[in-house]
Amino acid sequence: MEATLHVWKEGGIMQWESTQPSIEITCFAPTILTPMTGRIRVNDGKKTLQLESMRMLFLRPGDSVTLVRDGAELPAVCRICFESYRLAQHDDDTIMYRNDRSGLPASGWITNKLPYRATVLVNELVRLQANPSGHTAKAERHHHLFKELMQLVLHYETTPELDWEPSIHRAITYIDENYRSPITRSELARLAGFHTSYFSTMFAKKLGWGYSEYLNRVRIDRAKEHLLASTMTINEIALEVGYSNGEYLSRKFKQLTGMSPGEFRSRPAPKKIAAFQFAGALLALGVTPVATDAELVRGSLLLQEELRDVPIIKGAYDDEQLGKLKPDLILAPTYFYHTPGRMKQLEKIAPVLALEWAKLDPLAEMQLIGKLIGRESEAQRWLTKYQAQVDEARQSLRALIDRGETAAVYEWRSDGIFIWDKTARGAFNLYEALGIRPPETVRRDVLVRGKHLWITEDRLPDYMADHMFVIDARDDQSDEGEHVLASMHGKGRVYRLSLNEFWSSGGMALERQLRIQTNCLIAGESE
């Protein structure tokens, strides 16, 4: 008696037309994809995987991905949908199987190159399905072939996860958005589609934290914000961040930070801040960081002069160098938690404020950081200064705004195009500050949803604007692919921006980006 059954639901070859660069699919059942010929790239809107023949990609129900041709050859991709069942009851009268996907791999799991036998099996399975008959022998043969294929795929040498794990990402996102409510490990495991123990292993492997420790750190980080930016009591903060009472919050806070909530709140306003993000906001508040990292410096070209003499800490990991600088506070993005060990090393040196990067609009972010470091008045002065610059820019662009012309920000990457929401890449300047309209498709699919949008190049015409700010972030910025920009020029005016000037849009950087964007639009008006 088989303990686990994998049952074929449907399958077939997906073939591209010569003019079709991509195909979008949504999985409603466990799914295997494999190119029979050619190569494809698979993108879920965040990351891209390359897939070639003799390798198979597993996707879980609920995954939506775009398949993109990789090369001139038209790929023939086999898509197999199936279900997984586990033996639930076996006695003299009853044999019962129940649907159970907990033993299946994570989304994004890819086999290494399979033996030729796998291709033979797939071809035969597709052939049998294409020529159905009522013969029991053919049905039995189909079942045995699929059983052999699944044994080969699931037990062959694999390259798991490849840093693309939508299932675990869904669990992380759920914690980040619902930390105020009770969250159990079994609840997260069900959300990710794993058995509870397997989920715990996968979560810890991905993040270097157990799920419970990660949840507590999210809650303590939010508690830190309330302690420094509000007058709420410890009990009120506890209820706000998901703890039952102030005593429990105090115990967890002490356990993770080495000090009580009261001690943290009463610390003097920091004077020496190491910034591994949010440098533009600090500079606008009159604070020069005592340390930063190379990634932030590369992406902050507009702040080059102000950051020129700031020590660069190698990857935010050089404990010795950072320790010698004796910071009062370390300002870090919450995505540091997703690199095992990174945050723990920083916490050994100084108290850490972990904030969500590009979550708030730039003005709200400025006000928050001003409160957190005791510079509320400086934040208000900066807001007044920025608004005066906006008013001046709006006056110079009055004709364009009154005509109702549209604008949007696009980031051109090797695997497609991102269209940015107002929290990133200077988009706030266009939509909120200057009041320039987005195209209706951008308003509907990006701004209303509050999420950045990834599209393939063939969908770009649906999202074009009268004024298009384009950041070329391709790995190889050669002339190849310039047809994309040419098609945009045919629709409206195109302004090329530097990623290293628009990577971050906080504080002082936002001011300078406003100047660049305004000058582009003024120049476009004079053409």
Low-confidence ranges of the chain (pLDDT < 50): 157-164
Per-residue model confidence (pLDDT) at position 63: 86
DSSP string, 206-222: HHSS-HHHHHHHHHHHH
pLDDT at 157: 47
CATH 2.60.120.280 positions along the chain are 4-159
CATH number of this structure's domain 4-159: 2.60.120.280
CB 418 within 8 A of CB 453: yes
0.75 exceeded by pTM? no
Query: Looking at residue 164, what is its pLDDT?
Result: 39
DSSP SS3 for 427 = helix
What pLDDT, on the 0 to 100 scale, is given for residue 220?
95
Contact 290, 283 (CB under 8 A): no
Domain 383-526 in CATH: superfamily?
Nitrogenase molybdenum iron protein domain (3.40.50.1980)
Every domain range in the chain assigned CATH 3.40.50.1980: 273-357, 383-526
Given a contact cutoff of 8 angstroms between Cβ atoms, the answer to whether 299 and 248 are in contact is no
Distance (Å, rounded) from C-alpha 441 to C-alpha 351?
A: 44
Dist. CA 257–CA 264, nearest whole Å: 9
112-128 b/e with 16+ CB inside 10 Å = b? eebeeebeebbeebbeb
What amino acid is encoded at 328 in this protein? D
Range 166-265 classified under CATH 1.10.540.10: no
Sign, CA torsion 423/427/429/435: negative
Please enumerate in sequence order all residues whose Cβ is within 8 A of that of 165, keeping only pairs 6 or more positions apart, or say none.
106, 107, 108, 202, 206
Alpha carbon distance 279, 290 (integer Å): 11
Report the Cα 182 to chain-centroid distance in Å: 24
Give me the CATH code for the 273-357 domain, please.
3.40.50.1980
Tokens describing residue 385: 């200064």
For residue 252, the model assigns a pLDDT of 94
Percent of the chain at pLDDT > 90 equals 47
What is the per-residue pLDDT for 134?
Answer: 59
